[in-house]
Structure 1
Amino acid sequence: MSFSCLTTIVLLLGSVLALVKDGRDEIDRLALLEFKARIADPSGVLSSWNDSSHFCDWDGVTCGRKHRRVTILDLGSKNLSGVMPPHIGNLSFLRGIDLENNSFHAKIPSQVGRLLRLQKLFLNNNSFSGEIPLNLSYCSNMLSLDLGFNMLKGNLPTELGSLSKLQQLILQANSLMGNIPPSIGNLSSLQVFATSTNNFGGTIPETLGQLRNLKRLSLAANKFVDTIPISIFNISALTWLGVGENQLEGGLPGDLGFTLPNIEFINMGRNHLIGPIPESISNASNLGVIQIDQNNFTGKQSTDLNFLCSLTNSTKLNILSIGINAFQGLIPDCISNLSTTLSMFGLAYNYSSGTLPSGIGNLINLELFEMQGNNISGNIPFEIGNLNKMKYLDLGYNELSGQIPESFGNLRLLIKLYLDSNNFRGSIPSSLKNCQILLLLNLSTNNLSGYIPPEIMGLSSLSIYLDLSRNSLIGSLPEEVGKLQNLGELRLNGNRLSQQIPSSIGNWPLPSIMSSMRGLQVLNVSNNQLSGQIPKFLESLNLTNLSLSYNDFEGALPTGGVFRSAISTSVVGNKKLCGGLPDFQLPKCYYKESKRTRISGIAKILISTISALVGVACILSLLYFFWFRQNKNASASSSSEDGFLHVSYHNLLKATCGFSSTNLLGMGNFGSVYRGLLDQTQSVVAIKILDLTCEGAPKSFIAECEVLRRIRHRNLVKVLTACSGFDFNGNDFKALVYEFMSNGNLDEWLHPTTSQYMERKKLSLLERVNIAIDVACALDYLHHHYEMPIVHCDLKPSNVLLDDEMNGHVGDFGLARFLPEATHKLLVDQSSSVGVKGSFGYVAPEYGTGSAVSTQGDVYSFGVLVLEMFTGKRPIDDMFEDGLDLHRFTKAALADRVEKAIDPILLQEIEELEKRRTIAPEGKNKSWCSIKDCLVLMIEIGITCSFESSNERMDIYDALTKLQGMRKKLLEFIVTV
C-alpha cells in the first residue's frame, strides 16, 4: 500500500473518530437542554445554558478534562422547580447529581439506573413522588444516596442491598412503608442509614447488626414493633442510635455501655420499652445525648435513678431526657456530679421523691430543667441561683414547700418559670424583677401570701401569661400592672385581693391598632374581694375572656367591648351589679333623685307626657307578655334578645350524663361533640365541648360564636346557645350548643362503618343532588347575601349535618373568616386566625403557598365534596398517588366513560331506574335528560369548582344555578319512570 493511501486512511479514521466524539458531545448537550426545558428557573440560574458557549462552560455543569463529557450536575439550592426528565439517563459519564433543596416533583426517572458511573445522588428536600426506582441498584459505584424530605411512597426495594460500595442511604421524611428488607444488612460499607419519619413497620431486621462500619442509625418516627435487636448493640462503630417514636417493646441489654463504646447519641423515646437502664452505660464516655422519655422504664424502686450516677463518667453529656416513665425512688445526690456541659435535664412526670439536692447548683450550663409532676418535697435549694444560664425551669406539680428563694433573681436569662401546684408559702420574692426577659410566670395554686410586689407587675417583658391564681394574696392590684403592655393572660382569681382595679390598666395599647402586639386577651380576677364599679376602660381592651365573678363589684355593668358577649364575660356572684345587656340577666339600674332637685314647669310637663307614654307602653307590654306566655315554646330561662338559653357547666354535665362516652357523637380538631338532653327545654341537642389545651381552640370558639350569632339560614346549623365559664375545678370551660341533627353527618353516609353499612339505607342519587344544592345554598348566602362576605374555610362531608328529612346544614365555623376587604369593624381580628384554612384533601392549593383567604377557596372545597359524593372516594384515598388525585381521576373518566368514576351504589340504583324506564310507555316519546347526562353535569360542576387555579373556578352562585336546573330535569325523568 502506498504512503498516500495510508495517509488517506488515517485522515478518514480521524474524521470518523471526531464525528463519534462530536456525536457523544451532542448527546450530552441535548440531554441538558431537555433538562432545562422541563423546569422553571425564576432566578435565571440556567441563563448560560445556550449555544453561545460549550455546555462544559454552563453554570452547574462540570466535565472531564479528556473526554469533555458531563461528570457532575450541581444545581442544589437554586430555586428550581419542575420534572426531572428521563433524558438524564443519557449523561452516561455522570458521577454526581446534586438537585437538593429545590422544588422538583413527579417520579424519579428509572433511567437514572443507566448511570453506571454514578457515585453521588442528592435529591433531598424536593417533592419527588412515586416509588424508589428498582434499577437504582444498577448504579454499582454508588457511594451516597440521599432521597430524604420528599413525598416518596411504596416499599424500600430489596435490590438496593446489592450496592456494596454504598456508604450513605438517607430516606428520612417520606411516606415509605413496609418492612426494611433484610438485604440492607449486605451493605457492608454503609456508615449512615436514616429512615426516620416514614411509615416503615414490622420488626427491625437482625441483619442490621452485620453493618460493622455503621456510625449513624436513624429509624425514629415509624411503626416498628417488637424489641430492638440485640445485634444492634454489637455495632461498636455506632455513634448515633435513633429509634424513638415507634412501638418498640422489651428492655435493654445489660451490657449496653460495653457494646457501644463510641455512642454519642441515643434516642429511644416514645416507645413501650420497660425495665431498668443498665448501669454499664457508664462506659459510654462519649455520650452527649440520651433521650429515653415517654416509655415505661423502671428499676428497683428505691434505686430506680441510680443509673444517673453511672452517667457522671459521660463528660460530654449535653441532653438528658428521661421524663414520662415509671421511675420511682429518691433523686440521687450524684446528679450534682453530672457533666457541667449538661444543658437540658428532663425528669418530668415520674414517681420520683425526696428532695432536690443542693448540688444542683453545680450544673452551671443548664438551660432547661424539667421536674414537674413528681413527688419532690422540701425546699428549693438556694444554690439554684447559680444556674445563671437557665432559660426554662418547671418544678410544678410537686410537693415543694418553704419560701421561694430570693436567689431566683440571679436567673437573668429566665424566659419561662413554673412553680405552680406546690406548697410554697410566704411572699413572692421581689428579686424576680431581675428576670428582665421573663415571658411567662406561673406561681398558681400555692399558699403564697402578702402583697403582690409592684416590681413583678413592672416586668414589661411578660407577654405569654402571668398566673398568681389560687393563693392567699391580699391588698390591691399594683398600679404597675399598666406596664404589662404585651401580656396575653392575667390570672389573679382565688386570692383575697381587695379595693379597686387601678385605672392605669386602661393605658395599655390596643392590638387592633398595633397588630404586632399581642395585648391582653384573658383577664381572670374572680374569687377575690374586689369592690367598686367595674372600670369602663375594660371595654376598650382586646379581651376575649374576662372573669370578674365572685367579687363585690357594684353599679352598672358596661356594655361595650368584651361586655357585649355573655359568652366571653363572667360576672356571676357580684350581687350589687345592675344593667348591662339582657344576656347577663342583671336587674335594671335605678338611680334615686335628690329631694333638693328643682324641676321647672316645662320639665314637669315633659315628665308627665313621658310618664303617660310609658304607662301606655307598660300596658301594651303587659298585654304582649300575657300573649307571649300563651304562645311561647322556649324555656322561661331564655331571656336574651336572640332567645339564647343560658346554660352552665353543671347544666351540660347533667345533660350528657357526665360527658359519658355513650353520648359521644364525634371528635374534631378542637374538641368533642356529645348528644345531650337539656333540662331547660327538654329537647335533644348537640353539645360541642372545646378542648382548651389545643392550640387555637379559644380563638376557634370566639370565631364560631361571632359568625353564628350574626347569620341565619335554613342550610346552616343553628346554634342555640354557648357556655363560657369554669368547671368544678376552676378550669376554663367553653361549649357550644347546637340544634341536634338526627341523621348525623354526610361523611358517615358516604363512608359508613361496617355496622352503619348494614343498618342504614344508602344515599340515593336525588338525595345527593339535594344535599349538594343545600350546601351550595349555604355557601351562596355566606359569600353573597350577608352584609360582609364570610368564608367557611373548612368545608368537608363531616361538617355537613343532616336533619330528619335529609336536608343538609353546614356547620363548624371555628375557622371561618370575614373577608378582610370588608370595611366594617369586626369583633374578630383577622390576624388571629388559627392556622391555615381547612382540612387536608379539601383545602385549596393556593392556601398552601400563603395566599389570602377567599370565597374561591370554599368553592374548591365544594368541588372536592361534590366529586366525593358522586364517586364515593375520599380525596385522600390510597389510590391517589404519583400525581393522581380525585380531580384528575374524575376528569380522565369524564373524557372516557363517566361510569368508571361513579359510586357503585349509584350505578346499581341507575340500573334499576333504567329497567323501569323501558317499561314505562308514557315516557318513551317524552323529551327528558338521561341519567348519564345528569351525572356528567354533576362531575363537570365538581371538576370546574376544583380547578387548581382559583381563576378557573366558577362562582358558587353559578354552580347553584346549574345544580338547580339539573335537579329539575332529573325530577322530570324520575317522575316519568
Structure 2
Amino acid sequence: MGNIPPSIGNLSSLQKFGLSWNNFSGTIPETLGRLRNLKELRLTANKFVSTIPISIFNISTLASLGVGENQLEGGLPNDLGFTLPNIESIITYQNYLTGPIPESISNASNLKLIQIDQNNFTGKVPSFSKIRGLYWFNIRLNNLGGEQSTDLDFLCSLTNSTKLIFLSIGENAFRGLIPNCISNLSTTLSIFSLKCNHISGTLPSGIGNLINLEALDMWSNNILGNIPYEIGNLNKLKILDLSKNKLSGQILESFGNLRLLIELYLYSNNFRGSIPSSLKNCQNLLLLDLSTNNLSGHVPPEIMGISSLSIYLDLSRNSLTGPIPEEVGKLQNLGKLYLNGNRLSQQIPSSIGSCISMEHLYVQDNFFEGPLPSIMSSMRGLQVLNVSNNQLSGQIPKFLESLNLTNLSLSYNDFEGALPTGGVFRSAISTSVVGNKKLCGGLPDFQLPKCYYKESKRTRISGIAKILISTISALVGVVCILSCYTSFGLDRIRMHQLQALLKMGFWHVSYHNLLKATGGFSSTNLLGMGNFGSVYRGLLDQTQSVVAIKILDLTCEGAPKSFIAECEVLRRIRRRNLVKVLTTCSGFDFNGNDFKALVYEFMSNGNLDEWLHPTASQYMERKKLSLLERVNIAIDVACALDYLHHHYEMPIVHCDLKPSNVLLDDEMNGHVGDFGLARFLPKATHKLLVDQSSSVGVKGSFGYVAPEYGTGSAVSTQGDVYSFGVLVLEMFTGKRLIDDMFEDGLDLHCFTKAALVDRVEKAIDPILLQEIEELEKRRTIAPEGKNKSWCSIKDCLVLIIEVGITCSFESSKERMDIYDALTKLQGMRKKLLEFIVTI
C-alpha cells in the first residue's frame, strides 16, 4: 500500500514491474517513462487515480500494459499504435477512461489481447485489419457507437484475426445491422457477446459458420425476424441468450442439435407456435427460459423430462394450454418453476411432490382446479408458493404450516374452511388469502369471519421442537458471476472460467451463532438502528472475522417483505460500491419466534451520516471529511446507482438513499447498502420474489423521498436521482435537512440554489472553506496564482453544487440522469486533483 516512489524511474535495467492486486494509491509516477527496457508493467487492481502518464506510452519496448481496476481517468493517446510498436496486451478495464479508441491502434500489429471494458470510451471503433494475432477483444460496458448505422463495420476488420477466441462488445450504444461478415470470423471463436446495445435487423445465417462457439449472447437489442436454421450447426454451444429482442416465428426444431447447452434464454420475444419437443436432446440444460412470448399448445412432456434442469425453468406469460405433464416429477433437482400467466388447466399433478429441491413454484394466473395435492408436503425446500388466480378448491392443507415458506399466495381461488394459524400463516404480510370468500378463522390480521364450528384440538409444538424442525434455515445465497480477468496467460482465461454459471457462496449461520457473535445482542455492539431492525458488530466463529449483522424486527410492518426484497437484490448483484452480503439466517429463536438476519461485510468507518454530522464525542476524536474525500464518496454512490439503473438486466431502484445508508470501508470508499425498499423495474417480473403491490410501500426517509412519490407516481430511477441530489447538497453544505434555518418553505435545495446566485461560499460547509484556505497557504506560487487557484476550486464547487441542484429538482423531467451526474463529478475530481496534487 502507499504510493509508488518516483525514484523507481532510476532502475534503468528493469524489464518487469508488477504491483497488481495490492492497495497502492496516488498517481502513477511519470518517472516510469524512464524505464526504457521495460517490457511488462502490471498495476492492475489498486487505487491509482488521475491519468496514465503519457511517458509510459513512449516506452517502445513495452509488450504488456496492465492498469485495470483502478480509478484512472483521461484517455489513450492518439499515436498509441506508433509509440508502442511491440505492445501485445492492453488491459485498462474498470477505470474511468474517456475519449475514443485511437485509430492508430491498428498499427500495433503484435496485439494479442485488448481488454478495455468498463470505462467511458466513446465514438466509432477503428479498424483492426492489420492485427492478425488477436485472440482476446473486450470493449464491453463503454459508450461506443451510437452515431450511425455502420457502427458495427469494425467487426469485419476482425476477420483477419485468425486466433480470436473471445469477442465482447456488449453494453455499449452500437446501432445498425449485424454485418454478414461475421460469418468469416475465426472458427476458433468461443465467446461472442453483443448484448445490451441498439442493434437492429436480422440475425445473419452466417452465424452458423462459427462452429466452435460456446457462448453467444445477444440479449436486449432490437433484432427481429426468424432465428436462422443454421444456428443448429453450433453444436458446441453451452450458453445461448437471444432474449429481449423482437425475434418471431417458431422456436426451431434444430435447437435439439445443441446437445451441450447449459443455459438457454429466449424470453421477451414474439415467438409463436408450440415448444419444440426436440429440446429433450439438451440433457445438460441447467436453465431454460422461454417466458413472455406467444407460445401455444401443450407443455411437451419431454421438456418436463429434462432431469438436468436445476436453476430454473420458466414458461410463464405465454398462451400454453392443457395440464402440467406428469413428467414434472422428474425435475427433482429444479430450484424454481414458473408456469404463471398461461391458460393451463386441470389439477396440479401429485407427481410434483417429487420435486424435493424446488424452492419457488409459480402457477398463478391459470385455470387449475381441485385441491392442492397432499404429496406436496414432501417439498421441504419450498420457500415461495404462488397459486393465486386459479380455480383451486377444498380446504387449505395443514402441511403448508410445516414447510419453510416465506411467501405464500392463495388469493382468488375457491378455498374454504378454517385458515391454519401456524408457520407462514402467522404473518398476514407473508401470506395472502384475499378473494377466497369461504375461508374463516385464522389470526386477526387476516380479518376473516369467525368459524361457526368447533375446531379440533391441536397438539402444541414446543419451542424446542420448532427449533429442531427449522435447523436448516432457508438461506438465500449470494449469486456471483465468475469473471476471471487476468493480465497474462491464455490458460487462466479459458471460456469455462468465464461462463456465467451460478455458484452458491455462503456458509451456514444459526440464531445461536449470531447470538454468540454479538455477545447476546449486547448494546455495546450496537452499530445503529434502521427502519426494520438493528445492526450489530459481531465476530463469527466460522470465519473469525468481524461482520455487521442486521437483525430484523419482525413486529414492524413490512419487515418480512423488506428481508425478502433485500435478499433478492443482494443475491443477484455483486459490484464495487455496493455493500457485500455474506450470508443470511431465517429460522426461530430459542422461544420459537421467527428470526431473520442478514450478515454483511463490516465497514470499519461507519456510515456517511456519522461523518457529516458527528456527535459531540465523535467531533473531537474523528478527522473531518476532506473535499476530495467527499467528491470520491459522491462518485462512489453515483457509480453504484449507475450500475443499478443501467447495467443490470432490469433497472433496480434503491428507494431509500440517504447518508446513513452509505457505508465507508477502511479506505473511505463509499458503499450503498440497505436494499429493504428496493424495487425492480418493470413493476412485475417473473424473477422477482417481492409482490410489488404489497404493503411495503415506497416510504423512504423524510427529505430524501422524491416529491412525485407523495402524489402516487410510480417508482422510477429518477426518484433515486432526487435522493442523490439531496445527498450531494448535504455533503458539501454540511447542513442537515432538518436544520433550524429551514422553515417557511425554505429547504436545502432552495438555499443552495439562492447561494449560487449570491455567494456560493455562504452555502459551503465551513470545514471545506477552512481546508481550502489552508491549501492556499501551502502554495508557493505568486499571489495572482493563488487567486486563480481559489477561483478554480470555487468553480469546481459551484459545478458540484449545480449537480446536486439539478438532480433534486421537484420535477422529475428536469433532473439529469445518474450517468450524466457521474460523468460531471468525475470531471470535477480530475480538475481538483490538478490543484491538490501539485501543492
Which TM-score applies when normalising by structure 1?
Answer: 0.50
Q: 1:481 to 1:699 in 2, by over 3 A?
A: closer
Q: CA RMSD in A?
A: 4.8
2:551 pairs, out of 509, 513, 516, with 516
1:164 aligned to 2:109? yes
2:290 pairs, out of 326, 338, 347, with 347
Measured in 1, the distance between the counterparts of 2:805 and 2:655 equals: 26
Which residue does the alignment assign to 1:470?
412
1:369 pairs, out of 313, 329, 342, with 313
Measured in 2, the distance between the counterparts of 1:717 and 1:78 equals: 40
Measured in 2, the distance between the counterparts of 1:260 and 1:80 equals: 42
Superimposed CA distance per residue, residues 521-554 of structure 1 (whole angstroms, 9 cap, x where no aligned partner): 779xxxxxxxxxxxxxxxxx98999xxxxxxxxx
Measured in 1, the distance between the counterparts of 2:420 and 2:138 equals: 56
Which residue does the alignment assign to 2:76?
132
Shift of 1:454: 1.5
- What secondary structure, in the 3-state scheme, does the structure 2 residue paired with 1:401 have? strand
Q: Which amino acid aligns with 1:364?
A: S
Shift of 1:327: 0.8
Q: Which amino acid aligns with 1:498?
A: L
Measured in 1, the distance between the counterparts of 2:357 and 2:184 equals: 43
Measured in 2, the distance between the counterparts of 1:457 and 1:372 equals: 27
Q: 1:113 to 1:482 in 2, by over 3 A?
A: closer
1:438 aligned to 2:377? no
Measured in 2, the distance between the counterparts of 1:718 and 1:390 equals: 44
Which residue does the alignment assign to 2:204?
253
**Is the Cα–Cα contact under 8 Å of residues 144 and 174 in structure 2 kept in the other structure?**
yes
Superimposed CA distance per residue, residues 607-628 of structure 1 (whole angstroms, 9 cap, x where no aligned partner): xxxxxxxxxxxxxxxxxxxxxx
Measured in 1, the distance between the counterparts of 2:306 and 2:52 equals: 50
Q: Which amino acid aligns with 1:87?
A: T
**Is the Cα–Cα contact under 8 Å of residues 35 and 88 in structure 1 kept in the other structure?**
no
Q: Matched residues, percent identical? A: 24
Q: 1:78 to 1:699 in 2, by over 3 A?
A: farther
Measured in 2, the distance between the counterparts of 1:885 and 1:347 equals: 46
Which residue does the alignment assign to 1:243?
194
Measured in 2, the distance between the counterparts of 1:139 and 1:719 equals: 54
Which residue does the alignment assign to 2:299?
356
Measured in 2, the distance between the counterparts of 1:77 and 1:717 equals: 40
- What secondary structure, in the 3-state scheme, does the structure 2 residue paired with 1:476 have? strand
- What secondary structure, in the 3-state scheme, does the structure 2 residue paired with 1:148 have? coil
Shift of 1:283: 1.9
1:314 aligned to 2:258? yes
Superimposed CA distance per residue, residues 38-78 of structure 1 (whole angstroms, 9 cap, x where no aligned partner): 9xxxxxxxxxx99xxxx99xxxxxxxxxxx92221121111
1:199 aligned to 2:143? yes
Q: 1:397 to 1:103 in 2, by over 3 A?
A: same
Q: 1:423 to 1:878 in 2, by over 3 A?
A: closer
1:189 aligned to 2:130? no
Shift of 1:121: 1.5
**Is the Cα–Cα contact under 8 Å of residues 176 and 198 in structure 1 kept in the other structure?**
yes
Shift of 1:364: 1.3
**Is the Cα–Cα contact under 8 Å of residues 50 and 74 in structure 2 kept in the other structure?**
yes
1:141 aligned to 2:97? no
**Is the Cα–Cα contact under 8 Å of residues 130 and 881 in structure 1 kept in the other structure?**
no
Q: Map 1:922-961 onto structure 2 (within 5 A).
A: none
Which residue does the alignment assign to 1:407?
351
Shift of 1:431: 2.8
Q: Map 1:554-953 onto structure 2 (within 5 A).
A: 701=697, 703=699, 707=702, 782-783=738-739, 864-865=800-801, 884-885=827-828
Q: Which amino acid aligns with 2:284?
A: T
1:233 aligned to 2:268? no
- What secondary structure, in the 3-state scheme, does the structure 2 residue paired with 1:298 have? strand
Q: Which amino acid aligns with 1:237?
A: T
Q: Which amino acid aligns with 1:165?
A: N
Which residue does the alignment assign to 2:5?
36
Shift of 1:323: 1.0
Shift of 1:434: 2.7
Superimposed CA distance per residue, residues 104-140 of structure 1 (whole angstroms, 9 cap, x where no aligned partner): 1211111112222222222111111110133432222
Shift of 1:876: 7.7
Which residue does the alignment assign to 2:450?
none
Structure 2 stretches of 5 or more lacking a match? 448-462, 467-510, 512-530, 536-549, 564-652, 657-680, 723-728, 755-795, 807-813
Measured in 1, the distance between the counterparts of 2:123 and 2:832 equals: 26
Superimposed CA distance per residue, residues 145-190 of structure 1 (whole angstroms, 9 cap, x where no aligned partner): 11111111110001111111111111111111101012x2221111
Measured in 1, the distance between the counterparts of 2:822 and 2:365 equals: 51
- What secondary structure, in the 3-state scheme, does the structure 1 residue paired with 2:175 have? strand
**Is the Cα–Cα contact under 8 Å of residues 389 and 412 in structure 2 kept in the other structure?**
yes
**Is the Cα–Cα contact under 8 Å of residues 116 and 139 in structure 2 kept in the other structure?**
yes
**Is the Cα–Cα contact under 8 Å of residues 459 and 483 in structure 1 kept in the other structure?**
no
Q: Which amino acid aligns with 1:493?
A: V
Structure 1 stretches of 5 or more lacking a match? 1-31, 39-48, 57-67, 524-540, 546-667, 672-689, 724-732, 736-744, 749-771, 802-859, 893-946, 949-977
Superimposed CA distance per residue, residues 279-302 of structure 1 (whole angstroms, 9 cap, x where no aligned partner): 222221211111111111112xxx
**Is the Cα–Cα contact under 8 Å of residues 481 and 504 in structure 1 kept in the other structure?**
no
Q: 1:866 to 1:189 in 2, by over 3 A?
A: closer
Measured in 2, the distance between the counterparts of 1:134 and 1:881 equals: 24
- Number of residues paired by the alignment? 554
Q: Which amino acid aligns with 1:246?
A: N
Larger Rg over CA atoms: 1
Q: 1:718 to 1:415 in 2, by over 3 A?
A: closer
Shift of 1:693: 5.5
Shift of 1:400: 0.6
Superimposed CA distance per residue, residues 652-686 of structure 1 (whole angstroms, 9 cap, x where no aligned partner): xxxxxxxxxxxxxxxx9869xxxxxxxxxxxxxxx
Measured in 1, the distance between the counterparts of 2:300 and 2:333 equals: 19
Q: Which amino acid aligns with 1:422?
A: N
Measured in 1, the distance between the counterparts of 2:752 and 2:349 equals: 53
Q: 1:796 to 1:247 in 2, by over 3 A?
A: farther
1:152 aligned to 2:103? no
Measured in 2, the distance between the counterparts of 1:69 and 1:165 equals: 23
Higher relative contact order (CA 8 A, sep 6+): 2
Shift of 1:261: 1.4
Q: 1:786 to 1:89 in 2, by over 3 A?
A: closer
Q: 1:340 to 1:869 in 2, by over 3 A?
A: closer
